[in-house]
Amino acid sequence: MKLNERISETPLKERLKKADYLARELSEHLTQAYLPKLSKLRVAAKELDPDAVSDQQVLDCTLAVIQAEEFTSDLYQELRAYLESIKTDTQEILFGGKNAPVDHSLSDAQLEAIDGSGLFDGSGLFDE
């Protein structure tokens, strides 16, 4: 069973929770693991003195960045699969059907309800 099929069988509420969790995990991984490893590699690569930083240290930093990048990529792909599934289901709910044309335009009544404050009629904020 493919990941997308398994995800689409999960209730929408659970997919939203999982997407939130994955987004937080990705953010934490980037700030706490990936970026520090990348920064360490940049510092090591800029050092010209072989006594200060050996080739092995540069290689170790490079491998750590590559490993962190692979984890980042896997996490991002999983998050993207959840978000695509959520998008598909919410469009079905809102617009009626998978292949229904999506009309993002607003009716006159909706525009009037939004524009009750006069924000979009040319008066108000930008008048001098």
Q: What is the pLDDT of residue 69?
A: 95
How confident is residue 116, by pLDDT bands cut at 50, 70 and 90?
A: low
Distance CA 117, CA 120 (A): 8
pLDDT level of residue 110 (50, 70, 90 thresholds): low
Cα 115 to Cα 96: distance, rounded to the nearest angstrom: 27
The percent of residues in the chain predicted with pLDDT above 90, rounded, is: 56
User: Over the stretch 20-69, which tens digit does the pLDDT of each residue have?
Assistant: 999 999 999 999 999 999 999 999 999 888 888 999 999 999 999 999 99
What residue ranges do the domains of the chain occupy? Answer: 3-102
Q: What is the pLDDT of residue 126?
A: 43
Main-chain dihedrals φ then ψ at residue 15, nearest 5 degrees: -65, -40
3-class SS letters over 42-69: HHHHHCCCCCCCCHHHHHHHHHHHHHHH
81-100 per-position pLDDT tens digit: 999 999 989 888 888 766 55
Q: Is the pLDDT of residue 75 over 90?
A: yes
pLDDT reported for residue 125: 43
pTM: 0.68
